[in-house]
Chains A and B, each alone.
Chain A
């Protein structure tokens, strides 16, 4: 899960080396924290949050496979 988000985010930004994803695991829900370079913040959020929404949608589809919930947070 973590790798997937990292992979997508790295493909979207200008500074892939500054992409960091950390996972806070819970019983049912885990939280993914995505950190990118300041200039790239807009790239992972997108117009009207569309990119962020797309990533969250894919994340929830992927976590349905392992019967869990995953929340994506983009850290400023």
Chain B
């Protein structure tokens, strides 16, 4: 049995469209629902269309004509879909607006009078939060900030094919944190070299570990490595043996 797919914002609309295009009254239309639509966020982003599959009954007047119509209808449908998806992109103003809306909503529930400004570069979108109670927004060890960044990134990337990286900063907190981590990295590498024993740093997330790795990349006296899995993943700074020996020779 021939099966024709129709799309619409809701199942009802898809049925209506099908009945108009096939010129079959709605009551006589035989169909299966492929997917129920969802409106997505704000009815703009990530909306999925409802799809139905119309089964044509055999006794159709002038089957050839209808099949022809099907083909042309199919072509029209494709063109329509393309133009619609273009419209969707324009109307929602892309991931930046979405991210701003989501982030603003989260912030508003935590503190009042905080605003979000946006900078965009080729690699990532940077959301900068200012005002409000920044201490609560950052949280203990920056965990609230991290949680916000993670959720916003996840929500944006759910709606777009391409992977978009984002960064959420509050009044220069990230820079301060990076400087602090680099200081700790240098201090611990000195310790490793002095004692000749590996030093571990626990409780760092992936970005933080990366900062430490990069900070010690050019230090020939130590080697850094991440060990363990998931929550227990640690960063270990090993003193280099060759460096140790050289040092012993010299003394």
Contacts and interface: CB of A to CB of B under 8 A. Distances in A.
Interface of A: 1, 4, 7-8, 10-12, 14-17, 46, 48, 50-51, 53-55, 57-58, 61-62, 64-65
A53 B109 contact: no
A4 B105 CA distance: 8
B137 A61 contact: yes
A57 B39 CA distance: 28
B151 A8 contact: yes
B177 interface: no
Interface string B111-131: 100000000000000000000
Given A50-B150, A53-B147, A54-B146, 17 more contacts: A4-B106, A7-B105, A8-B102, A8-B151, A10-B41, A11-B102, A11-B155, A17-B38, A48-B230, A48-B231, A51-B150, A51-B151, A54-B151, A55-B147, A58-B106, A61-B139, A64-B110
A interface majority secondary structure: helix
B148 A58 contact: yes
Contacts of B38: 14-17
Contacts of B136: 61, 64-65
A53 B147 CA distance: 8
9 contacts: A4-B105, A8-B151, A12-B155, A17-B38, A54-B147, A54-B150, A57-B144, A57-B146, A61-B139
B158 A12 contact: yes
A57 B140 CA distance: 10
A4 B139 CA distance: 18
Nearest to B144: A61
A57 B109 contact: no
A41 B61 CA distance: 48
B202 to A, nearest CB: 16
Contact of A11 (B111, B144, B148, B158): B158
Contacts of A11: 41, 102, 155, 158
B40 interface: yes
Nearest to B137: A61
Nearest to B143: A57
Interface string B188-232: 000000000000000000000000000000000000000000110
A58 B110 contact: yes
B110 A12 contact: no
A43 to B, nearest CB: 8
Contacts of B154: 12, 46, 51
B208 to A, nearest CB: 15
